[in-house]
Amino acid sequence: MTVLYKLETFEGPLDLLLHLIDKAEIDIQDIPVSEITEQYMEFLQGMKELELEITSEFLVMAATLLSIKSKMLLPKPPVIEIEDFDYYEDDGYDPRAELVQRLIEYRKFKSIAVQLLDMESERSLIFTKEPEDLGPYVPAQADLIPKGLHTADLIAAFRKALSKAARRTSYQRITRDEISVKDRIRDVTEALQRTGIGGRLRFSSLLHEEMDRHEIVTTFLAILELMKMRAIFCYQEKLFDDIVMEWRGGEEFSGLQHAEIDY
């Protein structure tokens, strides 16, 4: 029974030669033909022992390698002397040159093929769709320009708008009353002084329902300033409880309302 086996690793004899050259880590411009030929023939012999079909391409390459090997082993031909002319064989001729050029070109195309395969893999992840006419799905819009109007009508409307704008000469600016930290310090001090030395006052007693956020923040800043000046002592009976203020000032704080507060 004949066993047919397709080589998936090597696509041809050049691919096999490149594999042998890369495996041996040798310069492709200076191939040791004798060594590479032996490895190549060993590979073909292994295929034959496994009863694998050897294509003609591999056999042609084997013959080419043997021919190059024999040319490199044979001595150079003698000098041919002709009257008034000496003919020498080209000393720079290398039997491997044609094979090396084929290998270099094959390596280039193989590298390009790998790049194209990578590009194909990336492109296969992108799905496209042919453009379609979405006109039927666009909602119909009414004509923005009323019918029956003329240029004179637009001019008349523009003059009417200008006359209305000319009458709008008066305007008012509405502002809210701002309260400073200095004013709140005076208010808090007066409230605490009425309690006497050691008197206590809760922070919530300084607030009322009609106060906005700005006034509440200003009141809290006033308390911080009084603590900084050591006029009051603040504490909480428990966590998140109301802040209790204790008046520590005396006559020396009677002029507290004149403190230099710039906000």
In degrees rounded to 5, what are phi and psi of residue 206?
A: -85, -5
113 domain-assigned? yes
3-state secondary structure of 71: helix
- Residue 245 included in any domain: yes
Same domain assignment for residues 21 and 112: yes
pLDDT surpasses 80 at 92: no
**Is residue 87 assigned to a domain?**
yes
d(C-alpha 223, C-alpha 184), whole Å: 9
Point out the domain boundary residue: 76, 100, 122. Answer: 122
For 12-41, b/e burial (b = at least 16 CB within 10 A) is ebbebbbebbeeeeeeeeebebeebbebbe
Q: Is 19 in the same domain as 109?
A: yes
Q: How many domains does the chain have?
A: 2
Identify whether the C-beta of residue 61 lies closer than 8 Å to the C-beta of residue 40: yes
Domain that holds residue 189: 181-258
The answer as to whether 165 is a domain residue is no
Q: Token pair of 120, please?
A: 């194909």
- CATH code, 208: 1.10.10.580
Alpha-carbon gap, residue 246 to 195, rounded angstroms = 9
pLDDT in tens, 221-254: 988 998 888 888 888 888 888 888 888 876 555 5
Residues 185 and 106 in one domain: no
pTM of the model: 0.37
Q: What mean pLDDT is reported for the chain?
A: 77
Residue 141 belongs to some domain of the structure: no
The model's pLDDT over 190-226, given as tens digits with 9 standing for 90+, comes to: 888 887 667 788 888 888 877 888 888 888 898 899 8
Q: Which residues pair with 85 in a beta bridge?
A: 82
Q: 22 and 117: one domain?
A: yes
Distance CA 207, CA 164 (A): 47
Q: What is the DSSP letter of 138?
A: S
pLDDT band with cut points at 50, 70 and 90 for residue 90: low
Boundary of a domain, candidates 101, 122, 143? 122
